[in-house]
Amino acid sequence: MIYTLKKFKWVAMSTNVYVDIIKDNKILLYHTKSGAYKISSNSSFIELVKNFYSPKNLGVIESNQLYSKCSVDVEWALKNKVFIPINTIQKPIVLLPILNLQKDISKIGEGSIDDRLAIIGSKQNFISGIYIRISKINNICDTKCSKFRVAASKQYPCPTYSQRIDRISPENLSHILNSLKYTSVSVVDIVCSSDYFSVYSKEDFLYILSKYNYKYRIHFFIDDFGFALSLLKLIQSIKIELVAYVDKFSTEVKPEVKHLLNRILYLNYGEDANKDNANILPVYIGDSNKEANNIRIRREKEEGVFEQKVCFNDVFRNQKLNSNFFGIVDVDSQCNIRAYGSQHIIGNVTSADFSWTDIVVNELKQNHSWRLTRDMTNCKDCPLRYICPPISYYEILSNNTQICG
């Protein structure tokens, strides 16, 4: 194929190709349309690719520059339409995609991070999702069961177990929902159990929800389905979906119940690691189940890299933020606020000076999870660091972002 280049005067870098050079000694070329990719340590090939990005070349070089680079890498690039031969008299111009954020807090200006944050507009608009954990559970399963489910609640929006029961009062719930009017939240996720309604009435709860024009998702364990069913019977005009969590301790999901649920999520503590189900959620409970769930995580990461095409927007996004967590906050039953994906408290909704703007600023400055990218971990030198799915909560808790090996 290299010899056919003599028919063409120019060779352009495809605008569909993402290029990443790691420490000047390794390069990744990833075709965002076909999913084809190449990792090379060939120094002459790396220099050749760099030439495309030179300001004087603007994505196009003369084809004769490839003649002396007759290598398997060049052959691959031509075959996979990474390099595009062009036959025109005048040199064409190709505008190659680059990441250029106008409001990147890591690069704006020379001042302090506070000065850089001041340039960003309405910060409360960054809040796009919320989990409100209005109560805990203390009465459904034994100590062994609660150990597993407490671990699950640290990773997913399912109820947690505790001998101390805290509840978000109706007044504070209303306060939270009212404050969200000035954010980008359209769906509110509420994590609760029947325990909440042993103290507060279902009618009052639904009345508070009805005052605000959100869509609601109620998260609960299937064992506790009774309260959710009674809510359904009382609902009139509120948009509510039911999300049930099932694990090895759960009662059987009956057909007459199943059709009332919008989603069923299965918590996996290490069993059925090879079972293929998109609704299975691996739970980290320590080294005892680490390897079993690592098998599943590894497979999901490989599928994300090798089977699903990753577009430029995803690649650029993975360089700057974690889409698993960004914009999402988690409010516990004591009204403490955390960035989703983190155990660090960054505010409390009952504080006199509470504002979502301050919450956003705190998280952007401290970066507990929202901007946690793979180049901040031991994945930083991996050529696939931005093609790979974002860091998950499981990886954070297990302190291992290189499950793929």
Tell me how many degrees the CA angle 65-88-31 measures, rounded to the nearest 5: 60
Instruction: Take residue 248 and report the two structure tokens written for it.
Output: 């090895």
Per domain, the residue ranges of the chain are: 2-86, 123-398
Would the pLDDT of 109 be above 60?
no
What pLDDT does residue 152 have?
Answer: 94
pTM exceeds 0.85 for this model:
yes
The one-character DSSP state at 399 is T
Q: What is the mean pLDDT of the chain?
A: 88
51-60, 76-85, 252-261, 279-288: range with lowest mean pLDDT: 279-288
* φ, ψ for residue 223, nearest 5 deg: -60, -25
51-74 residues labelled b (16+ CB within 10 A) or e (exposed):
ebeeeebbbbbebeebeeeebebb
Higher pLDDT, 353 or 6: 353
What pLDDT does residue 12 have?
Answer: 96
Task: Specify the residue for token string 């999520």.
Answer: 265
Would the pLDDT of 169 be above 70?
yes
Task: Specify the residue for token string 């504080």.
Answer: 351
Instruction: Take residue 110 and report the two structure tokens written for it.
Output: 């020379």
User: What is residue 282's three-state secondary structure?
Assistant: strand
pLDDT digits (tens, 9 = 90+) for 190-221: 999 999 999 999 999 999 999 999 999 999 99
What pLDDT does residue 4 have?
Answer: 64
Would the pLDDT of 305 be above 80?
no
What pLDDT does residue 70 have?
Answer: 62
Would the pLDDT of 352 be above 90?
yes
pLDDT confidence band for 28 (50 / 70 / 90):
very high
Would the pLDDT of 303 be above 70?
no
The share of the chain scoring above pLDDT 90, in percent, equals 65
What pLDDT does residue 71 have?
Answer: 82
The one-character DSSP state at 98 is -
pLDDT digits (tens, 9 = 90+) for 58-89: 999 998 888 766 689 999 999 999 999 998 98
pLDDT confidence band for 90 (50 / 70 / 90):
very high
H or E stretch including 130?
Answer: strand 129-133
Would the pLDDT of 38 be above 90?
yes
What pLDDT does residue 66 have?
Answer: 83
What pLDDT does residue 209 have?
Answer: 97
What pLDDT does residue 302 have?
Answer: 57
Would the pLDDT of 104 be above 80?
no
| DSSP states along 148-195 | HHHHHHTTSSS--B-SS--B--HHHHHHHHHHGGGSS--EEEEE--GG
